[in-house]
Amino acid sequence: MFVKICGITRLEDAKAAVDAGATALGFVFWPGSPRAVDPHRARTITASLPPFVTAVGVFADQPAEYVNEVASLAQLGAVQLHGGESSDYITTMNRPVVKAVAIRDGLDLDAARIDVWPSRVVVLLDAHDPVRKGGTGRTVDWSVAAAIARRRPIVLAGGLTADNVGDAIARVRPFGIDVSSGVEAAPGIKDHGRIKALFEAVHGSRISARS
């Protein structure tokens, strides 16, 4: 399973996530986030990653030229867009795109809001928060997420922890998961014990699914 640990700001946290089994690491370049990281610092971290781990840059309503420049500087393998970016905006990206789509509490997600994104765009489902743009620690409606996952591969985010990730995977059947606050000691500071516990829970859920 694709597992991304997001909000990386320190080299030691990146190494802990990779050692635990992360297939991607997220670096937030939106300045409004408490997990924001300088592109040059991110480059120092991404330069140390093994070739099978993807560095993903997280942006929100920022100029396309800036996003592409940071993607090149920080050696990103993909960009994750958390704002109101349009399908036309996505065509200007020089990297593969992950598009975050918010699920509002108590509301079904209109199919058109998902289907507007072409199949080459990976859809990530997260809790709705127009201010923080993610990393809220709030879970999404898994029944809505599951309905979407039956139509196209999705990455599930929003409040995932070692305690609930097994249930989330079993109910939603996502292509992958994205975790930030659920493995933190503080915003941008990862708890290595929580990272290890998360991957143990993910591994356990996969064994249960096969048995």
Residues belonging to the active site: 6, 126
Residue 143 burial (CB < 10 Å; 0-12/13-18/19+)? Answer: exposed
Q: Which of 132, 56, 142 has the alpha carbon at shortest distance from 99? A: 56
Per DSSP, the chain holds a count of helices (H) and strands (E) of 8, 10
Report the SS3 class of residue 200.
helix
Alpha helices in the chain (DSSP H): 11-20, 39-46, 64-73, 87-90, 111-115, 142-149, 165-172, 192-210
